[in-house]
Amino acid sequence: MAATVSDILLDWYERHARNLPWRAPPGAPAPEPYRVWLSEVMLQQTTVAAVKPYFAAFTERWPDVEALAAAPEADVMAAWAGLGYYSRARNLVKCARAVAGLGGFPKTEAALRELPGLGAYTAAAVAAIAFGERAVVVDANVERVVARLFAIDEPLPGARKAIRARADEITPDDRAGDFAQAMMDLGSGICSARDPKCLLCPLAEICAGRRTGDPARLPVKAPKKARPLRQGRAFWIEREGAVWLVRREGTGMLGGMRALPDDGWSARGDGSGGPEGEPLGLVRHGFTHFDLELSVARHHAPLGEGEWWSLDTLDDAGLPTLFAKAARLALA
């Protein structure tokens, strides 16, 4: 089946590849590894539509890995604001500095894995797409395609070993980067999570999941655990057209980001109280492992070490989404 899958899919990709700013067209010379790496980091748990403007802004401001390596971490964190999963931005800076120190990106999957912040998926994607190395690239889209193609019905995450083994079987020696991107495109646009478009799928005739009559049930997912609810408080401190912002500690939730002062809420528990203030309302935000209810209160004196930031340029402060919500509430 390996030759059949890769041949069919690469032929389909020639005609249906998505036009994305970080890609090279099928069969064209590979894109710059910097652009591949940056896009793959941004795309982790984020949609293509959300990533496009961030990718454009980053590559305009920092056109190569050396420029990004020289950037202050605070500037990168501010530019990242709104993409979420902020540890990715911190690792982005660490990795850029490591690559600049090496004089460029390593060209093998194994060497790429040694860079800070590069997991198995990102290393494989950069190796295959940027350097043409045969590497097995498995993201959520590929995982879904392979689980359906081979009717792997063991529940996740236990099924991932079998899915990776099957993905390895069908990955060709040549054009591994095009093949990986073809699988991603197929999973994104055709073999979608809730409504697979089997009549349009180039692999429909050889898909074991389709023959079961219910491909949408694959991959089988374990029941979701209820996420705990945390509570906290943030403070809106305004004076003469400016708001008081602090810088969060470099590690932990939203580490290194500018933010409103708060009561010390974290992923481990609720806030520890803090001063009172005039209640302005409540915002809700979902993190990976918990949900947060953040009450916003007006306070009149600066809290903690920080800076006055003009309300006219608040969009430039790079507030993470949670605190951007709180600011919108206070300004309303």
Catalytic residue ranges: 40
Alpha helices per DSSP H over the chain: 2-16, 33-43, 48-61, 65-70, 73-80, 87-102, 109-113, 120-131, 140-149, 160-170, 176-189, 208-211, 321-331
Retrieve residue 138's tokens. 């498995």
Sign of CA dihedral 190, 193, 198, 202: positive
The candidate with the shortest Cα–Cα distance to 9, out of 121, 238, 170, is 170
Residue 24, C-beta contacts closer than 8 angstroms, at least 6 positions apart: 30, 31
What letter represents residue 280's amino acid? L
Which phi and psi angles does 156 have, rounded to 5°?
Answer: -70, 150
**Residue 117, by phi and psi: left (phi above 0), alpha (psi -120 to 50) or beta?**
left
Q: How far is CA 171 from CA 123, 133, 183, in A?
A: 16, 11, 10
